[in-house]
């Protein structure tokens, strides 16, 4: 029964992490379309690394019985405002005019690829400063901790397996996104950038509004 429960919980976590239409999702699809699989996989790696770090941090907090610190209003307000600002800044970058390396009106468009380290860092930051991800991990770690007897080692092993599966799904998404690149024109790629940028800015504004202006 416990094994079935853990498998069920793992599937829920994977679906929530990979198919929730949040900032990381839009950035990942946009990167896969624009730069292809390799660059998109680096962004996906950064996203999953931040998930792993958050998971470990929250596992330790739950083990120490200090869960109330994460639930405090000040902590939530602070993280939401910082996260909102970061999302707005990232979103604004998508509105920059990007000149393709190969000017063409056909479906074959190439862009200068960013450095690998920057893509991993971007994925790490954009996911780390999304408060929704914190709350998702907080809920899942809390739910799993009792089943695994509040053992930090057991929880980390379980979530490590879940995150490996999550990375595989994320890489599959990038691969599929990269496949449609050849069907895109410069104009359509610009529209996709604007949609991604708008989505990130909207997420950022909502975070700030809900956790600051809505309480003042």
Query: Which tens digit of pLDDT belongs to each residue from 118-146?
Result: 899 999 998 888 877 887 888 788 778 77
CA–CA distance, 38 with 178 (Å, rounded to integer): 9
pTM: 0.75
* Mean pLDDT of the 18-36 span: 84
End-to-end CA distance of the chain: 47
Residue-level pLDDT at 107: 44
Give the model confidence (pLDDT) of 60-112 as tens digits.
Answer: 887 777 666 655 667 667 767 777 787 888 888 878 765 454 544 444 455 56
CA–CA distance, 76 with 214 (Å, rounded to integer): 13
**Is 90 exceeded by the pLDDT of residue 44?**
yes
CA–CA distance, 88 with 204 (Å, rounded to integer): 5
Secondary structure class of 104 (helix, strand, coil):
coil
User: Bigger pLDDT: 180 or 169?
Assistant: 169
Give the model confidence (pLDDT) of 135-179 as tens digits.
Answer: 788 878 877 877 787 788 888 889 999 999 999 999 998 998 888
User: Bigger pLDDT: 74 or 4?
Assistant: 4
Torsional class of 149: left (φ above 0), alpha (ψ -120 to 50), beta (otherwise): left
**Is 50 exceeded by the pLDDT of residue 188?**
yes
């Amino acid at each position: 029964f416990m094994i079935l429960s853990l498998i069920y919980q793992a599937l829920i976590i994977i679906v929530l992490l990979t198919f929730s239409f949040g900032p990381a999702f839009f950035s990942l699809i946009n990167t896969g379309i624009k730069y292809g699989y390799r660059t998109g996989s680096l962004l996906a790696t950064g996203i999953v690394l931040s998930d792993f770090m958050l998971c470990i941090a929250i596992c330790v907090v739950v083990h120490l019985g200090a869960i109330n610190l994460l639930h405090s209003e000040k902590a939530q307000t602070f993280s939401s405002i910082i996260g909102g600002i970061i999302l707005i800044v990232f979103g604004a970058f998508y509105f920059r005019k990007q000149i393709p390396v190969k000017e063409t009106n056909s479906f074959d468009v190439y862009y200068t690829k960013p450095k690998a380290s920057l893509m991993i860092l971007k994925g790490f930051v954009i996911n780390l400063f999304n408060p929704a991800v914190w709350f998702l991990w907080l809920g899942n770690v809390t739910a799993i901790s009792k089943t695994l007897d509040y053992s930090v080692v057991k929880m980390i092993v379980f979530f490590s397996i879940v995150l490996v599966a999550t990375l595989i799904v994320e890489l599959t998404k990038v691969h599929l996104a990269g496949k449609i690149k050849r069907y895109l024109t410069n104009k359509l790629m610009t529209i996709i950038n604007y949609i991604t940028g708008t989505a990130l800015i909207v997420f950022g504004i909502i975070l700030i509004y809900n956790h600051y202006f809505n309480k003042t």
